[in-house]
Amino acid sequence: MSEHTDRRADRRAPSRPLQKGEVLAPNGGILRPFRKGHSGNPQGIYGSSAYHEARRICAEASPEAARKQVELMSSDDHRVVFMATEAVLNRGAGKPRDHSNENPTKIDLSALSPDEVKAMVPLLKKAMGL
C-alpha cells in the first residue's frame, strides 16, 4: 500500500452523509466552504454581542452626553459644577499625566567652565522671563 492510501484509511467516516458543497476534513469533520459572493463574517468584526451593542449605543449617545455635561457646568450646586467640569476637561483635553514616577533630568553644570556658566545666566533669565 502506498503512503497516500494509508492516510485515507486513517480518515474517520463522516457523522452523516455529505450535502452539496460540503467536503470531508482529515479528522472526519464536515467543512462548508464559503459560497462565492457571500461574506464569511456577515456580522462584521464587532459581532452582535450585548457588549458590542452597548458600545454602539454609547457611541451614538456621546454627543448628547457631552452637551449635558457642558450644561451641568452651569448648575447652582458647586459639587455638580466640579464633577461636570472635570469630566468635560478629561474628555476634551485628556486626563493629566502622572509625572510622579518620572526621574527629572538634571543638568550637570560642572562640565562647563566658569565663563560658559556666566554666559548662560542671561540666556536663562531671558528664557524664564526674568
pLDDT digits (tens, 9 = 90+) for 53-102: 888 898 999 999 999 999 999 999 999 999 999 999 888 888 777 777 77
73 in a structural domain: yes
Name the H helices within 2-130: 3-10, 50-72, 78-92, 114-128
Residues contacting residue 55 through CB under 8 Å, at least 6 positions apart? 46
67 in a structural domain: yes
CB 94 within 8 A of CB 102: no
What whole-number distance in Å separates Cα of residue 108 and Cα of residue 130? 22
CB 23 within 8 A of CB 31: yes
Of the given ranges (1-10, 17-26, 35-44, 92-101), which has the lowest mean pLDDT? 1-10
Sign, CA torsion 118/120/123/127:
negative
13 in a structural domain: no
pTM above 0.75, yes or no: no
51 in a structural domain: no
66 in a structural domain: yes
77 in a structural domain: yes
Sign, CA torsion 42/44/47/48:
negative
9 in a structural domain: no
| Total number of domains constituting the chain | 1
Q: Return the exposure string of 95-130: e unless at least 16 CB atoms fall within 10 Å of the residue's CB, then b.
A: eeeeeeeeeeeeeeeeeeeeeeeeeeeeeeeeeeee
Q: What's the mean pLDDT in 14-38? A: 81
69 in a structural domain: yes
User: What are the DSSP calls for 32-46, one per residue?
Assistant: -PPPTTS-S-TTTTT
